[in-house]
Amino acid sequence: MDTILSISDWGDFLLSRLLLDAVFVVVAILLIFAFFNRREYENTPMFRFFLTALTVTLLSRYAYFVISEAKINSRYLFPAAFYVLILCVPGFPVIVKLGNYLLKFIPGGKEKILAVLLVLGIGIACIGKALHNPEKKEYIHRVAQILKASSSPVLISDMGDSVRIAWHSDSELIPLSSVLNTQYPVFAGNALKRLKAQPGNLFLFVRFKDTEFRKIFTDRKLEFPKEFILLEEFNERHKRFYSLYKISFEH
Amino acid sequence: MRKIFGRTGIYLILIAVLAGALRIARALQEERYSTDAYFYFRIAKDWARYGADYAYLYDVAHTPPLLPWTMALSYDLGLTPEYIALGLGILLGMLMPLGAFWAASNLFPEPNEKNRNFIIGGRYAYALLAAFLVAVHPFFIRISVSCLREILYLPLMVFGIASALSAIRHKSLVKWCLFAAFTALANLTRREGIIILGIFFAWQLVEFCVDRKAFLKDILYYFSSACCVSAVFLAITLPVMYGLSGSSCVWSPLLINLQAGGYGHYFIHFGLG
């Protein structure tokens, strides 16, 4: 997002962010059909209020993204998505009319049945999307269980999920900067000495397999810290691997 | 609204039940909440332990207080904040389709004769479809169980807009007061809530530009509605602001004004350049 008047930024904002990420593509298609039924959008004060609401919301959101240079999170556009959703509604009868035309070629077909099928189809597509949950991240609760079993646990991690694990295990969180590959060897050097003074049981949670994590150190010709004791490796759909270490200074 | 509690009312209740069932299904399936939700959990925990004076010491101090305060109440009930947030999210998620129905029934008061018999609903056909879309919308379902501020903000916004549309249609000052109350509560949830108030004043400007004669004829109505909206909004937000003054929470309904000033400055100096 560069400037307020950039056409490509506005295109990305309206088409990709708003219609695909916030409105949902199946519902957004209805908007195209609603255009052919635009006589329903009467020029009433209510409709003008509604359009003003949509315009002001979109402008304020766009300005916010430009000024703050924040990553566009689709949930910030959900208020605008609500307005678009309502504007999509007159699209339903148009699709049915189109279907009605096609029904001439299907003997015994009925308009009402087609309408019910249409609503059911959109409903099923939406519900399917809503209940599809590919990233379950079951390891969050498993790690939390392990941490909870020890007294006054302290979690050290650079992962976003560490906030979740810390809450569910009621442990103190020491966040690491997420500059991977360079961070860990530094951490293993001076920071480890400092952590000796940290009360509680220390745990390190990293986004690597144990072998990969060790390789970061060996690639830099550093010895893998003997304080790191591997507790468990986790994998998510056999794609991403995570490792949990206990940091022990009792050697 | 007269015949709503006939067959249309039954359909509406069924849609609300469907909305609730889908949100519960998603909540049972979900293993985690949004990362930001944990910040609100922490504020709520500190609020319950130490009160508002120290609740925000480790977090963003201008976070509006309504959601953390509501979550903090969970400790009085012997629960953790996520349960209150989930319960509230599911309940308000169920009510959101009713708000969408109210909004759409005022936006499309008289659908074309041909479109009225779209499956069910008669003149409420569009309103029922709007309620259905909001009930099954995948992202609204997900956000309802995310424990984020949207669980409060979106339903409040939807009811605010619906009451405004109803107020315009029926020229009712009471409904404008209702709009202001929803807007104030939305502002106590997210600072963007003030934008809904901005929509009201922008709409008055639009009305003035569209039909100046009609606007001037009804100037008393427009002026009194503006007074009512401002008064109710301030009556709800200012006591909270003064109640929290001196505490760790520095939320103010006026904070966004500085941001709006920033928008103007940016637009003039960079946007046009």
Q: Where are the domains of chain A?
A: 7-131, 139-247
Average of per-residue pLDDT across B201-219: 94
Contact A50 B210 (CB under 8 A): no
Q: Taking residues A170-182, report their average pLDDT.
A: 70
Of the two residues B103 and A98, the one the predictor is more confident about is B103
> Of B139, B157, B207, which has the smallest distance from its Cβ to A48's Cβ?
B207
**Minimal-distance CA residue of chain A relative to B106:** A46
Whether residues B136 and A37 touch (CB distance < 8 A) is answered with no
C-alpha distance from B13 to closest chain A C-alpha (Å): 17
Give the residue-averaged pLDDT of A220-226. 82
Section B221-229 average pLDDT: 96
Read off the tokens for B30. Answer: 């979900």
Determine the distance in angstroms separating the CA of B221 from the nearest CA of chain A, rounded to an integer.
14
Whether A40 sits inside 8 A of B112 (CB atoms) is: yes
Which residues have CB under 8 Å from B250's CB, separation 6+? B56, B61, B62
| Run of H or E including A242 | strand A240-247
The pTM of this model reads: 0.88
**More reliable by pLDDT, B65 or B253:** B65
Q: How confident is the model at residue B272 (pLDDT cuts 50, 70, 90)?
A: very low
Q: If pLDDT is split at 50, 70 and 90, which confidence band does B259 have?
A: low
Residue B95 CB coordination number (10 Å)? 16
Three-state DSSP at A175 gives strand
Mean pLDDT, chain B, integer:
87
Whole-number Å distance between alpha carbons of A184 and A72: 30
pLDDT at B150: 93
Q: In sequence order, which residues have a C-beta less than 8 Å from that of residue A232 and are 6 or more positions away?
A: A142, A146, A243, A244
Q: Read off the amino acid at residue B223.
A: F
Rounded mean pLDDT, B241-260: 74
How far apart are alpha carbons A134 and A186 in whole angstroms?
Answer: 35
At A227 the pLDDT is 84
Average pLDDT over residues B177-194: 94
Rounded Cα gap, residues A73 and A168, in angstroms: 25
- Domain extents for chain B? 7-271
Which of these ranges, A30-39, A220-229, B164-173, B263-272, has the smallest mean pLDDT? B263-272
Is residue A32 within 8 angstroms of chain B, CB to CB? Answer: no
pLDDT value, residue B12: 93
Say what the pLDDT of residue B273 is.
41
- Choose the closest CB to B133 out of A27, A55, A164: A27
How far does A217 lie from chain B, in Å, by closest CA?
30
Residue B185 pLDDT > 90, yes or no?
yes
pLDDT of residue B5: 62
- What's the first-to-final CA gap in chain B, in angstroms? 51
Instruction: Supply the pLDDT for residue B68.
Output: 92
Whether residue A79 and residue B26 make contact (CB cut-off 8 A), yes or no, is no
Which 67-86 residues of chain A touch chain B by CB within 8 A?
A: 67, 74-75, 78-79, 81-83, 85-86
pLDDT for residue B121 is more than 70: no
**Which is nearest to B109 in space by CA: B97, B125, B87?**
B125
Give CA–CA dist A10/A1, Å, rounded.
9
CATH class held by domain A139-247: alpha beta
* Average pLDDT of the residues in A172-191: 66
CA–CA separation, B58 vs B37, rounded Å?
A: 15
* Residue A245 three-state SS: strand
SS3 content of chain B, % helix, strand, coil (to 5): 75, 0, 25
How many whole angstroms separate alpha carbon B254 and alpha carbon B90? 31
The whole-number pLDDT of residue A107 equals 66
B24-33 pLDDT, tens digit each:
999 988 777 8
Which single residue is written with the structure tokens 């709503």?
Answer: B4
What pLDDT score does A251 carry?
Answer: 61
On whether the CB atoms of residues B154 and B140 are closer than 8 A, the answer is yes
Q: What is the pLDDT of residue B266?
A: 55
Q: Residues B194, B196, B198, B203: what is their CA dihedral angle, to the nearest 10 degrees?
A: -170
Interchain contact, A127 vs B138, CB within 8 Å: yes
- Chain B: give the shortest CA distance to residue A219, in Å: 33
Q: Starting from the edge strand earliest in sequence, which strands make up the sheet with A153-157, in order?
A: A172-175, A153-157, A201-206, A240-247, A228-236
Distance CA B16, CA B135 (A): 7
C-alpha to C-alpha distance for A113 and A106, rounded to whole angstroms: 13
Decide which of A185 and B235 is more confident.
Answer: B235
